[in-house]
Amino acid sequence: MCEPKIEDFIDYLRYERNYSRKTTECYQADLEAFKQFYEEIDSTLNWAEMPADVIRQWVVEMMDKGNAATSVRRRLSSLRSFYKFLLRRGLVTKDPVHNMPGPKAEKKLPSFVREAEMDRLFDGDFFSDDYPGCRDRMILLTFYSTGIRLSELVGLSEQDIDLDQMQLKVTGKRNKQRIIPYGDEYGDSLRNYLAERDVFAKQKASQDKALFLDERSGQRIRPAKVRGIVKKYLSMVTTLQRNSPHVLRHTFATAMLNHQADLQSVKELLGHESLSTTEIYTHTTFEQLKEMYNQAHPRAKTKGGNYGNQDSSNPL
């Protein structure tokens, strides 16, 4: 039986599963870290005869060093995927990671911008009338109206827009494509933007078919530029510490659920593979619902000023 190689697994992810370079680099780093760990314990150890206790010891050491539970779980997931690959290829006969639980991670609710703040942004005079201002507004509106990822927005081209059917074709993770519908307000803004973009492209003599162009180069806008644009404008209307494109993705999902969209539909719009990934937004909307209740209901606030926290020692 051949000695398993990490490189073979990475090639499988990259060329057969179409994983991105960044993702495969994370897998490789995780596996190399574990390999270094077990070789330092016992140089005779190998992938095929790996005791489960060694993996548990690795988990304990990572936690003792202060690694976040999410990081440890990710590394354990990389190892689990590697062993599944080795089993399918017949390179090992057992999976020592099978049914091994990772440390429990704290569930953090995603940050989102309130609807009133988003309305203030789009209804106010925050954007200039030139091409950069028109483009910036369209970028923010696209994130908020569709919930797409940063990479998906940057990858949009003219041919991905269907003005008649009022929909966008988006290329997501692992090159999976999905169709996202949009409404009248977004459609009107998009038509106005495309007219401005065409004028700008002619002035720059740009042949780039990207939907969003950089005002200096006339070429497809870069992710770092988009991050800066989002941070700039969201900072004008919200006090959130994180003002990123992903926050707008959270904002889209939260707004949809707050307005009675069903969870399955939001899952499809976001391009999530699992419904459990989308379910975190139900916690967000519930927290918002509790806050609204505490602010609005006359019996939610006690005389001492605490919300929903009556003294249980006095039943009357």
> Where are the chain's structural domains?
6-88, 115-294
> Contacts for 233-236 with beta carbons within 8 Å, 24 or more apart?
233/121, 233/126, 233/127, 233/136, 233/140, 234/113, 234/121, 234/140, 236/121, 236/126
| Alpha-helix residue ranges (DSSP H) falling in the chain | 6-11, 21-41, 52-64, 69-88, 115-123, 131-146, 150-154, 184-204, 223-234, 245-258, 263-270, 275-278, 280-296
Q: Which of 149, 197, 250, 267 is catalytic?
A: 149
Fold of 6-88: DNA polymerase; domain 1 (1.10.150)
Q: Position of tokens 């990934």?
A: 277
Q: Which of 204, 227, 231, 272 is catalytic?
A: 272
β-partners of residue 169 are 179
> Contacts for 32-35 with beta carbons within 8 Å, 24 or more apart?
32/6, 33/75, 34/58, 34/75, 34/79, 35/6
Amino acid residing at 143? F
Q: Is the pLDDT of residue 313 over 70?
A: no
Q: Please tell me the predicted confidence (pLDDT) of residue 168.
A: 95
> Three-state SS for 193?
helix
pLDDT top residue among 106 and 266: 266
β-partners of residue 178 are 170
pLDDT grade, residue 309 (50/70/90)?
Answer: very low
Work out the percent of the chain whose per-residue pLDDT is above 70.
Answer: 87
Q: Which of 14, 73, 178, 246 is catalytic?
A: 246
Q: Which of 114, 173, 204, 225 is catalytic?
A: 173
Query: What pairing do the DSSP bridges indicate for beta strands 167-171 and 161-162?
Result: antiparallel
pLDDT grade, residue 16 (50/70/90)?
Answer: very high
Q: Which of 38, 83, 233, 281 is catalytic?
A: 281
| 281 labelled catalytic | yes
> Three-state SS for 220?
strand
Q: Is the pLDDT of residue 314 over 50?
A: no
Closest C-alpha among 148, 113, 78 to residue 241? 113
| 89 labelled catalytic | no
Sheet holding 177-181, edge to edge: 161-162, 167-171, 177-181
Q: Please tell me the predicted confidence (pLDDT) of residue 287.
A: 60
β-partners of residue 167 are 162, 181
Q: Is the pLDDT of residue 38 over 70?
A: yes
Tell me if 154 sits within 8 A of 139, measured CB to CB. no
Q: Please tell me the predicted confidence (pLDDT) of residue 300.
A: 55
Q: Which of 135, 137, 197, 249 is catalytic?
A: 249
pLDDT grade, residue 291 (50/70/90)?
Answer: low
pLDDT grade, residue 227 (50/70/90)?
Answer: very high
Q: What is the pLDDT of residues 194-214, one digit of tens each?
A: 999 999 999 999 999 999 999
Q: Tell me what the mean pLDDT of segment 28-51 comes to.
A: 93
Tell me if 127 sits within 8 A of 200, measured CB to CB. no
Q: Please tell me the predicted confidence (pLDDT) of residue 310.
A: 37
Q: Position of tokens 């590697």?
A: 82
Mean pLDDT for all residues in the chain: 88
| 149 labelled catalytic | yes
Q: What is the pLDDT of residues 146-176, one digit of tens each?
A: 999 999 999 999 999 999 999 999 999 888 9
| 84 labelled catalytic | no
| 222 labelled catalytic | no
Tell me if 146 sits within 8 A of 190, measured CB to CB. no
| 173 labelled catalytic | yes
Give how far Cα 160 sits from Cα of 137, 148, 152, 154, 219, Å: 19, 13, 11, 12, 17
Q: What is the pLDDT of residues 240-279, one digit of tens each?
A: 888 999 999 999 998 898 888 888 899 999 999 888 788 8
* CATH code for the domain defined by 115-294: 1.10.443.10
pLDDT grade, residue 289 (50/70/90)?
Answer: low
Q: What is the pLDDT of residues 121-131, one digit of tens each?
A: 999 999 999 99
DSSP annotation string for 1-23: -PPP-HHHHHHIIIIIS---HHH
Closest C-alpha among 154, 137, 156, 131 to residue 215? 131
Tell me if 258 sits within 8 A of 271, measured CB to CB. no
Q: Tell me what the mean pLDDT of segment 4-25 comes to.
A: 93
